[in-house]
Amino acid sequence: MHVLIINGSPRIKALSNTDKILEKFTEGLREGGVTFEQYEVSDRKQWDAIRNAFSENRNILIALPLYVECIPGLLLEFLETVPPKTDDTKISFLLQSGFAEGIQLRCGEKYLKILTEKLGCNYGGTLVKGDNFAIRFFEGAQRDKVTGPYTAMGREFASAGSFETEACRKFTGPEIFSAPMRLMIGLVFKTVSKKMFTKIAESWGCTKPLDYRPYQ
Amino acid sequence: MVLIVNTTSDRSITEELKKQIDEKKIDAEIVETDSMKISPCIGCNYCWLKTPGECSIRDDYEIILKKITRAGQLWVISGTALGFLDHKGKNIFDRILPIATMYLKFVGDQMRHVPRYDTRTDIGIIYTGDPEREYLEEWTRRAALNFESSSLGVYAKDEIKEAVSCMC
């Protein structure tokens, strides 16, 4: 099997969490004997090449971050330029987000089914997973802990040819957290997370509090 | 204040809106974006972690963002494509992130960003074309949750009267 992979993140490849996820996911594809070609929507110079590849390939995977409950505006802009297909092409999606719960991604997932139909293609399912915000801030083993599990999903995709398997459904994790878990995570938000974000902000040269109001 | 952002080049919609808004003496501002430069969000996270509350993209969206921070309602007039808002309409929502902070909390059973400002901006859509309306309604409700606000609904361009009845 050969797969066209489109990274639909608007963030440049070097900083793209979706790209870091794809690095691990494609390791699994390779292990499963699948070949692939990958393009980045964030680079407008690639758009002609992506359109050609979209037209020529019949097995497509679009990986994307959730932006305000749906697909990013830049990816939408690109897809608006793609002619619908009529050749039995299958599109599968890898949808990731910062928020951790599965429920946060369901509205976006629902649109991906509509989108597939509008593009004249068949739906190959969506691999849904949150809690990926910090990938760009992690390196080495810490990053691998977050992105590593995607290798098994690459193998799963290589074997099934879609994300419509029980293993892929389970990969999402909890739809919502239990009340005791929310209490605990809420405490982490108020303490550890605040400290971590402040530290990152300082390292980025931020000189204002993170709740600063520039327009009041 | 009611903020109306027209991302289409169809001025007949805003002309009709203006007429009805004036009749009802609604405090509203209309922004036409067809001649404005509004780029897509690039997910740099600067608005959360480097220049809190300010977008790193220096374009005309800043005009809209400033108005949103004091608007009780945001209405986006958008074209549609692929069953959804077109990219110009979606960009207005993607670029709204600076009104949220990096901080997180739970609202009900789901994570949310802590809002940056005290104003809560309800959102409504007026569309041209032929979207998957049921989905668009669901999406608008979900999008509003992110801003701790409510959906004002989704209206076709020939339902302006119904949309105006929700403006106050």
Interchain pair A70, B65: CB under 8 A: no
Interchain pair A201, B103: CB under 8 A: no
Question: Which chain B residue is nearest to residue A200, measuring alpha carbons?
Answer: B49
- B142: closest CA of chain A, how far (Å): 7
pLDDT score at A112: 98
Is CATH 3.40.50.360 correct for B2-164?
yes
pLDDT score at B109: 96
Chain A contact present for B103, CB below 8 A:
yes
Question: Which chain B residue is nearest to residue A198, measuring alpha carbons?
Answer: B49
pTM: 0.97
Contact A4/A57 with Cβ under 8 angstroms?
A: yes
> Can you give the residue ranges of every domain in chain B?
2-164
pLDDT score at A181: 97
- A49: closest CA of chain B, how far (Å): 21
Residue-wise pLDDT for A126-145, tens only, equals 999 999 999 999 999 999 99
* Out of B85, B103, B135, closest to residue A211 by CB: B103
ipTM: 0.97
How far is CA B143 from each of CA B17, B92, B148, rounded to the nearest angstrom? 24, 12, 9
- Say if residue B119 is exposed, middle or buried (CB neighbours under 10 Å; 0-12, 13-18, 19+): middle
Interchain pair A215, B93: CB under 8 A: no
Chain A contact present for B48, CB below 8 A:
yes
* Out of B65, B66, B87, closest to residue A76 by CB: B87
* Out of A76, A104, A215, closest to residue B110 by CB: A104
Task: Give the architecture (CATH level 2) of A2-171.
Answer: 3-Layer(aba) Sandwich (3.40)
Contact A66/A12 with Cβ under 8 angstroms?
A: no
Mean pLDDT by 10-residue block, N- to C-terminus, for chain B (168 residues)?
A: 98 97 96 97 97 98 98 98 98 98 96 97 98 98 95 97 95
Q: Of A9, A16, A68, which to mutate for an interface test with B (greatest number of B Cβ within 10 Å)?
A: A68
- A86: closest CA of chain B, how far (Å): 16
> What's the per-residue H, E or C state across chain A?
CEEEEEECCCCCHHHCHHHHHHHHHHHHHHHCCCEEEEEECCCHHHHHHHHHHHHHCCEEEEEEECECCECCHHHHHHHCCCCCCCCCCEEEEEEECCCCCHHHHHHHHHHHHHHHHHCCCEEEEEEEECCCHHHHHCCHHHHHHHHCHHHHHHHHHHHHCCCCCHHHHHHCCCCCCCHHHHHHHHHHHHHHHHHHHHHHHHHCCCCCCCCCCCCC
Q: Could you read off the pLDDT tens digit of each residue along chain A, which spans 216 residues?
A: 999 999 999 999 999 999 999 999 999 999 999 999 999 999 999 999 999 999 999 999 999 999 999 999 999 999 999 999 999 999 999 999 999 999 999 999 999 999 999 999 999 999 999 999 999 999 999 999 999 999 999 999 999 999 999 999 999 999 999 999 999 999 999 999 999 999 999 999 999 999 999 998
